[in-house]
Structure 1
Amino acid sequence: MSPEYLIDVNLPYYFSVWNTAKFIHQLDIGRTAKDSDIWSYAKTSQLTVVTKDSDFATRILVSSPPPRVIHFRIGNISMKAFHALISQVWDEVTELSRSYKLVVVFNDKIEAFN
């Protein structure tokens, strides 16, 4: 199975939701990769970038997929709260990501943009 999602460095590496062959973490492709390197890698590999970095969300708004972007705008929350949120919304987020180039996840809502 090929990866479908590239997890940005600002999100946890060891995270049970992302512990499958569908996910690759930025640390697996280069600890010091710049945003442009991550974008190019995701584009070439047709991955969805999962990030807390607003730069990727801004970039996809003026671009066409691939890549697609899932942007978490949840502030600083505990790992326990983050895991609970992801576990609750991940299926909906990935479903929206199939149809929309940008999915933004907040603590209390999800928005999708084309």
Structure 2
Amino acid sequence: MSPKYFVDVNLPYYFSIWNNPDYVHQLDIERTAKDSNIWSYAKSEEMTIITKDSDFSNRILVSTPPPRIIHFRTGNISMKAFHTLISEVWNEVIQLSQTYKLEVIFNDKIEAFN
């Protein structure tokens, strides 16, 4: 079974929610991969990119999936607060990602775009 989600290097590596075969972290592939390489890889594998990088969000707005993008725009919050946020919203995020090409997760809301 191939991973469905690509976790960008700017997100935590050791995270229980992402510690299963559905997820691959960039550190497991290539630490210094360029955004274009990540995009191509995720596209060829029909994955969703999970990131804090707005470049992916901007690119998907003028593209057709795959990949799909889950973009965290939470600012600088503690790891504990980040984990709490993800624990609270992750099931909804996964459901929305099946329909929308871009989800933007803020501290207090989720926005989804097609």
Q: Scaled by the length of structure 2, what TM-score is found?
A: 0.99
4+ aligned runs moved over 2 Å, structure 1: none
Give 5+ residue unaligned stretches, structure 1: none
Aligned to 1:20: 20
Whose helix fraction is larger, Structure 1's or Structure 2's? 1
Give 5+ residue unaligned stretches, structure 2: none
Matched, 1:111 2:111: yes
CA displacement, residues 78-104 of structure 1 (integer Å, 9 cap, x when unaligned): 010000000000000110010000000
Aligned to 2:101: 101
Aligned residue type for 1:52: K
Give, in angstroms, the shift of residue 28 of structure 1. 1.2
Q: How many residues align?
A: 114
Alpha-carbon distance in 2 for matches of 1:76, 1:18: 20
Alpha-carbon distance in 2 for matches of 1:28, 1:62: 29
Instruction: Indicate the RMSD between aligned Cα atoms, in angstroms.
Output: 0.5
Q: Identity of aligned pairs, percent?
A: 73
Alpha-carbon distance in 1 for matches of 2:84, 2:4: 22
Give, in angstroms, the shift of residue 2 of structure 1. 1.6
Matched, 1:3 2:6: no
Matched, 1:53 2:45: no
CA displacement, residues 57-95 of structure 1 (integer Å, 9 cap, x when unaligned): 000000000000000000010010000000000000110
